[in-house]
């Protein structure tokens, strides 16, 4: 059986890692060992932050709704409690958009929930 030299596959693997490490700082972009470590760590950060982004947006929406509630002389917790008891199903993203774009509609929503 013929001897197998593995140079080609090694080059392909290195090239793939180094191309995904483009733009990194110092040796992380052109030394395979450092680049591979950083690409793996970057993948972990990306995985974590895809989940984190959902939390961050929810916090932003709640802050916007709370600020709009204060303008309507009510509290965020009272609004959510009233909506839950009345069976109103409007998600926080849409309520945040209403508070920004159409405050009159948001005020009507608050009035219905707290009445």
CATH (domain of 49): 1.10.1900.20
Inter-residue contact 20 to 26 (CB < 8 Å): no
Domain that holds residue 93: 9-114
In a domain, 19, yes or no: yes
96: pLDDT confidence band, cut at 50, 70 and 90?
very high
Q: Residues 43, 44, 45, 50: what is their CA dihedral angle, to the nearest 10 degrees?
A: 90
54: pLDDT confidence band, cut at 50, 70 and 90?
very high
- Return the pLDDT at 4: 81
Q: Residues 69, 74, 76, 81: what is their CA dihedral angle, to the nearest 10 degrees?
A: -130
In a domain, 2, yes or no: no
In a domain, 4, yes or no: no
In a domain, 101, yes or no: yes
- Return the pLDDT at 2: 85
Maximum C-alpha span of the chain: 85
| pTM for this model (two decimals) | 0.76
115: pLDDT confidence band, cut at 50, 70 and 90?
confident
Instruction: Tell me: pLDDT of 17 over 90.
Output: yes
In a domain, 1, yes or no: no
Could you give the number of structural domains in the chain?
1
């Amino acid at each position: 059986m013929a001897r197998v030299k593995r140079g080609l596959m090694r080059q392909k693997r290195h090239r793939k890692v180094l191309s995904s490490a483009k733009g990194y700082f110092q040796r992380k972009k052109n030394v395979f060992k450092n680049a591979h470590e950083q690409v793996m760590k970057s993948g972990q950060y990306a995985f974590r932050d895809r989940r984190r982004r959902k939390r961050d947006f929810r916090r932003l929406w709640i802050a916007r709704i709370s600020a709009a509630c204060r303008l309507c002389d009510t509290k965020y917790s009272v609004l959510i409690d009233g909506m839950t008891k009345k069976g109103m199903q409007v998600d926080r993203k849409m309520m945040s958009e209403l508070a920004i774009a159409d405050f009159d509609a948001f005020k009507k929503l608050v009035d219905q929930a707290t009445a």
